[in-house]
């Protein structure tokens, strides 16, 4: 098939809309906490946790747990590998869209 080469560069980790959303948010924000992600993506705690776990296992997201005013706070940031992988994915999407 003629398109195999183009779609081969798409990253399966970003095929899910929640993971795509998480990475999009982390690309433009240095750090985002759980509550912010939940509000921005309009999804459930479990959904975010599941997808963050997938991205962390790939080495695309770093998780920081701390206490702020004696309350637990979990925040996320894109790793260098995550940023590079996401940029490559976006480039592959762009090539696919422009392909004739």
Residues of the domain holding 30: 20-98
pLDDT at 100: 59
C-alpha–C-alpha distance, residues 24 and 41, integer Å = 11
Number of structural domains (the chain) is 1
Q: Would you say residue 2 lies in a domain? A: no
Q: Let me know: does 52 contact 20? Beta carbons within 8 Å.
A: no
pTM of the predicted model over 0.75 = yes
Q: Would you say residue 10 lies in a domain? A: no
Which domain CATH number covers 93?
1.10.10.10
Q: Would you say residue 3 lies in a domain? A: no
Q: Would you say residue 4 lies in a domain? A: no
Q: Would you say residue 6 lies in a domain? A: no
Q: Would you say residue 25 lies in a domain? A: yes
Backbone angles phi and psi of 71, in degrees to 5: -115, 140
pLDDT at 7: 80
pLDDT tens per residue across all 100 residues of the chain: 444 577 888 999 999 999 999 999 999 999 999 999 999 999 999 999 999 999 999 999 999 999 989 999 999 999 999 999 999 999 999 988 887 5
pLDDT at 68: 87
């Amino acid at each position: 098939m003629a398109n195999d080469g183009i779609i081969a560069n798409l990253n399966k980790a970003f095929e899910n809309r929640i993971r795509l959303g998480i990475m999009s948010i982390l690309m433009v924000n240095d750090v985002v906490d759980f509550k912010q992600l939940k509000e921005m993506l309009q999804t459930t705690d479990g959904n975010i946790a599941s997808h963050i776990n997938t991205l962390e296992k790939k080495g695309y997201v770093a998780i920081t747990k701390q206490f702020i005013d004696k309350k637990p706070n979990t925040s996320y940031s894109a790793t260098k590998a995550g940023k590079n992988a996401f940029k490559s994915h976006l480039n592959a999407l762009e090539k696919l869209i422009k392909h004739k």
